[in-house]
Structure 1
Amino acid sequence: MQHQTLTAAFSRRALFRSSAMMGAGAAFSSLPFSAAWAREGSVTRWPGVAQFVNGFVGEGDVACMIATMGWGQQEADTIAVGQRSFGGSGGVDADTLFRIYSMTKPITGLATVLCIEDGLLSLDQPLAEILPAFSNMQVQRQYDGPITADNLEPAERQITIRHLLTHTSGLGYSIVQQGPIADAYVEAGLVPGQVTRLPLPGAFRGEAVDSLELFADRLATMPLVHQPGTRWSYSVSLDLLGRVIEVVSGKSFDTFLQDRILGPCGMTSTTFRVAEQDKGRLTANYFLLGDVPVPIDLPDSSIYLDEPAFPFGGAGLVSSSNDYDRFLRMLAGWGMIEGNRVVSEPAVRLATSNLFPDTLAGDDGFSSGGRTFGFGAGGLVGLGTAEGLYGWFGAAGTAGLVNMKWGLRHNLMTQYMPSTELPVQNEFPLVVAADAANQMGA
């Protein structure tokens, strides 16, 4: 019954893009593409994933795709297909570099939990005790309405660390908001990420301020889009937590991450900037205009070769499939990896648990694919049959998840925007679940 329960942890909506994927093992040898790099036995153990990855690359939807899966502390299986760019000559493997964007958020979330464990913060501590500029926030009466006195009211409660971790603070996001509030964020330099050097319109516009301190100070002048603690609304809150960590720890945010998480986990390829000598490992990023992939960030001229305006805790990291698996492996080990204690078990349990405030509106929460989830430290938390699931996704099609109950970890690396243009992120966990169920039932 275990394998049935694991599969039920995901929606039973079409597990694959077609019924052929259900019998991927038999069909794999006839595919037009095959794994450019894979650990021995990976394709046999994960036939559905192999078909899934080959399908998107073979159809020309993406230049490359890498899937990495593992159980507990066991060595990971990796299936890598394609080239680092369309028309390029370089293949991909577990050490190829990808822009993971919002998969940065669970790492920042765990860093915040470490500060809580160190006694530097508490979960329900008001943000204003650390950053006083957030003491008297105003809230828009009409969501995304005008920024005028008649459309503003005082916040009913203080923003807390819990709110920031779970996107219930009421803060906005320049990639989510519309109208005057979105324009105000861009004009103030509250642009928490980088995508391209090209002058593209829309969500890619604007230039970020040059420090986390200035980011926090200007953010405090913006009205909230919801009353704190009442609604799940994707936001810049994890970026703001980078500044919180700096203030309470006395270290720069990127140094804190390196000292407490990235270094101890052995994540040697996870950085906010790609070193010149590593640009040959970096993939190209594409914007999909219909069926046409338009290059917006190429390895030799990537914006990630420059020092970022500040370390973006919500969307700033570049990583590899192997590196992100080490993060997930540490979580699956309840803070342990390769016999070394990186994080305490209580800290991992807190980070991967449902931290939604009890003030959340009864009709709200985080929903995806017809399912409702809880939210932990920067990532979704499975409820009901999905109990144990934790992780998040990236704006360029990436995914990183771990089922704490089963010890099943899985991440997917590819590069295309917007991520909703292809069904990659919705379907990848389902494909993994089906293959995993078959293994458990064998």
Structure 2
Amino acid sequence: MNMMVSRRALLGGLAFGGAATLLPRSAFAWKADGAALYPATDAFVTGFVERGQLAGTLACIGKGQAAAVSFGAGRQAMDSSKAVGPDTLWRLYSMTKPVTAMAAMLLIEEGRLGLDQPIADVLPAFANMTVQNTPDGSITDVRPAKGPITVRQLLTHTAGLGYNIIQKGPLRDAYNEAGLVGGQVSRLTIPGFPEITPVPSLAAFADRLAKLPLVYEPGTRWSYSVGLDLMGRVIEVAAGQPFDAFLKARLFDPLGMTSTFFQVPASEVGRLSTNYFPMGPVLLPVDPATSSIYLDPPPMPYGGGGLVSSARDYDRFLAMLLGEGETGGVRIMKPETARLAMSNLLTDSVDRKGTFIEGEGFGAGGRVSLADSPTGEGVYGWGGAAGTIGFVDRARGYRVGGYTQYMPAEALPFQAKFGEAFYKDALR
């Protein structure tokens, strides 16, 4: 089962026009106390706990390659006495997508994949796709796709693929029946949500997906999709090793990301937060830490929404991006590869009207700000279905993460307004 990520923009509340011009030219004065350094961000994140809206919240912010500061409030669960901190474990959900995308960029750098290579070269079942004549309409009233699905399109949600959390009608039902979901929520039965048996492997995921029609012609429209989950299968075939093993060998181990998992080890359950459904003034624990579904082996490593990580670990990933492929003396990818990954990979012909990224660009697995964006150019990142958010601002040299656990992300404005709070500090 999966839940919809926020329909708001990544920096949701950043509609304060012209704010980017307020950035001071002087060097940033560093202080040890993150709450003092970022008072607006601190007031924002702690307010949710003080009002009893969330169990715990955390901000993790770094400047350049300097050590990040973490600050927040609350506990890992409402029934826990353990305070949140940089090593608390959070369900990242779609913040997994940039990680998967960077893994694909490594293969592109090495020539084992091409950015505009048809994925049918790697997964032949996708050679002859069909497209619904009416998006979200009949799944038998279809036509042959005019062009192939490419690696670029998987990375940017322009392949025409669907998502069971986005689509409606027969195609959504077909995804559910085939077990084509992008992540897990709970061991519990959740009223109002269908019981779905997820596919047992990435290979099965790809094979079943190839049998269903596309929603749109490849390359024509941005539509949030299972593209990064399918990319996990492309990666493991192109790399010749399991997707999760590739991530560990090429990203997690070199970056020292020792707290990033598809399955949380039993030894680490004491660091895992509880995920909640806000129901009015009440927080319902939908995935309690001690009985979390993330303690079980996942049906497959979900490249679009399967990782659990700490703020400290994800900051290492963001530091690598901000360092254009390098952090702590460890180079993961070439600078030109990192710059390409965080650039706008969409052409002007891609329809973005009415989508999560209207007026913005999209890179490898994450939104990219443009010259006329509220922040100006240089921001890359994405958010997750349980309220988390992570991005780098390359123009100003920041790496930023916001962490909490509640679903859906629209239920409270933590994710949608986190960026606005941060820029009140960064642009003062």
The 5 A counterparts of 1:3-42 are 10-12=14-16, 40-42=32-34
% identical aligned pairs: 51
Assess, with a 3 A threshold, how the Cα gap between structure 1 residues 156 and 359 changes in structure 2: closer, same or farther: farther
Task: Give me the CA root mean square deviation.
Answer: 1.9
The 5 A counterparts of 1:123-162 are 123-148=115-140, 151-162=141-152
Partner of 1:94: 86
Return the alpha-carbon distance in structure 1 between the equivalents of residues 382 and 314 of structure 2: 12
Counterpart amino acid of residue 38 in structure 2 = W
Partner of 2:38: 46
Partner of 1:189: 179
Q: Does 1:378 align with 2:365?
A: yes
Q: Give the alignment partner of residue 98 of structure 2, picking from 106, 126, 138.
A: 106
Q: Does 1:320 align with 2:310?
A: yes
| Deviation (angstroms), 1:11 | 2.1
Contact 1:103–1:394 under 8 Å retained in 2: yes
Partner of 1:423: 413
Assess, with a 3 A threshold, how the Cα gap between structure 1 residues 54 and 358 changes in structure 2: closer, same or farther: closer
Contact 1:191–1:207 under 8 Å retained in 2: no
Contact 1:366–1:373 under 8 Å retained in 2: no
Return the alpha-carbon distance in structure 2 between the equivalents of residues 124 and 262 of structure 1: 27
Q: Does 1:277 align with 2:259?
A: no
* Larger RCO (CA within 8 A; separation ≥ 6): 2
Return the alpha-carbon distance in structure 2 between the equivalents of residues 232 and 309 of structure 1: 28
Higher helix fraction (1 or 2): 1
Q: Give the alignment partner of residue 188 of structure 2, picking from 198, 208, 214.
A: 198
Partner of 1:240: 230
Partner of 1:212: 202
Cα offsets for 1:278-319 (capped at 9, x unmatched): 000000001122332211111111100011001000000000
Q: Does 1:115 align with 2:107?
A: yes
Partner of 1:65: 57
| Deviation (angstroms), 1:358 | 5.3
| Deviation (angstroms), 1:205 | 3.7
Unpaired stretches in structure 2, ≥5 consecutive residues: 1-10, 20-30
Return the alpha-carbon distance in structure 1 between the equivalents of residues 169 and 79 of structure 2: 39
Assess, with a 3 A threshold, how the Cα gap between structure 1 residues 306 and 72 changes in structure 2: closer, same or farther: same
Contact 2:14–2:417 under 8 Å retained in 1: no
Counterpart amino acid of residue 74 in structure 1 = A
Unpaired stretches in structure 1, ≥5 consecutive residues: 1-6, 16-38
Q: Does 1:414 align with 2:418?
A: no
Cα offsets for 1:203-259 (capped at 9, x unmatched): 564121111000000000011111111111000000000000011110100011011
Return the alpha-carbon distance in structure 2 between the equivalents of residues 122 and 202 of structure 1: 42
Assess, with a 3 A threshold, how the Cα gap between structure 1 residues 392 and 203 changes in structure 2: closer, same or farther: farther
Contact 2:59–2:401 under 8 Å retained in 1: yes
Contact 2:74–2:83 under 8 Å retained in 1: yes
Counterpart amino acid of residue 388 in structure 1 = G
Count of residue correspondences: 403
Return the alpha-carbon distance in structure 2 between the equivalents of residues 289 and 132 of structure 1: 46
- SS at structure 2 position matched to 1:411: strand
| Deviation (angstroms), 1:90 | 1.4
Contact 1:365–1:373 under 8 Å retained in 2: no
Partner of 1:75: 67
Assess, with a 3 A threshold, how the Cα gap between structure 1 residues 118 and 203 changes in structure 2: closer, same or farther: farther
Q: Give the alignment partner of residue 156 of structure 2, picking from 166, 175, 197.
A: 166
